[in-house]
Structure 1
């Protein structure tokens, strides 16, 4: 695996929030693009709420992941390690979103912790590489 793999994973992770918000918008009729957050707040569709929450969570998870990949690369961590952790992160974040929409709370939480673990390992490896 190469560093390019990790960079592609950053792109996929950047796009995941938009996948989940598309699922949210498609889960109820008459999406209001003039006031999207108000529209979401007025909905009582549980699937829509879960998909929107997956969207927000994916946005929150992206910055630490992107920073972890960049810092690991800048500090000289092995590209194969960075790529493996990036693939793990993206895979777990896809599982997280699917589990969120499907209301599988335990699987969602396990995927969330696993993805966070990938980010932590990236950041720790970066710190150790420059120490």
Structure 2
């Protein structure tokens, strides 16, 4: 039985992380102190559909989820393309691992407000560089 390439294993963990990022937001929405949200709109609508009405950490949880999707989806597609062209290498191995940990650090740092300027944008930049490296790997595999 052939083992799962590390890059695909990391991608699986990344997708599970992305699929779980709704949890902090929903916990925050459902633990809002009584009277902290306007009462002139339907309860479900106002609590979930308008993150700007939430406490700051809940708003950050929303943005952390969106940020993960903004980079995670392109990264996932690139990893699948590298797999398709049989281009996994030491470079893609370490890039996938780095990307996962960068995205996890970004999410935790964003939600807790522990990753302030310039750290959070630098972490996001690191994720973008990982995307560029995976894109390079697609083309490098096709040239060999």
Quick check: 77-86 or 30-39, which moved more? 30-39
Distance in 2 between residues matched to 1:98 and 1:10, nearest whole Å:
18
Any idea what SS the aligned residue of 1:27 has? helix
Give the match for residue 114 of structure 1: 126
The CA distance in 1 between the partners of 2:21 and 2:76, in whole Å, is 19
Mapped partners of 1:29, 1:70: distance in 2: 36
Closer/same/farther in 2, CA of residues 94 and 63 from structure 1, 3 Å limit:
same
When Rg is computed on C-alpha atoms for both structures, the one with the higher figure is: 2
Give the Cα–Cα distance (whole angstroms) in 1 for the partners of residues 65 and 19 of structure 2. 7
Q: How many residues align?
A: 129
How far 1:3 moved relative to its partner? 5.5
Flag the 1:130–1:33 CA change in 2: closer, same or farther, 3 A: farther
Residues 92 and 133, structure 2, Cα contact 8 Å, conserved in 1: no
How far the C-alpha of 1:87 sits from its partner, in A, is: 0.7
- RMSD between aligned residues: 2.4
Q: Tell me if structure 1 keeps the 8 A contact 2:25–2:61.
A: yes
Return the structure number with greater helix share.
1
| Deviates most, 51-60 or 73-82 | 73-82
Deviation at 1:125, TM superposition (A): 1.9
Cα distance in structure 2, aligned partners of 1:108 and 1:3 = 31
1:46-88 C-alpha deviation (Å, 9 max, x unpaired): 0000011101111121221112112222233244332211111
Is there any run of 5+ residues in structure 1 with no aligned partner, and where?
none
Scaled by the length of structure 2, the TM-score of the pair is: 0.76
Report Cα offsets for 1:14-47 as digits up to 9, x if no partner: 122333321122224358994364253432x000
Contact between 2:85 and 2:138, CA under 8 Å: does it hold in 1? yes
**2:53 maps to which residue?**
42
CA separation of 1:112 and 1:3: change in aligned 2, threshold 3 A: farther
Residue 92 of structure 1 corresponds to which residue in structure 2?
102
Q: Does 1:59 align with 2:69?
A: yes
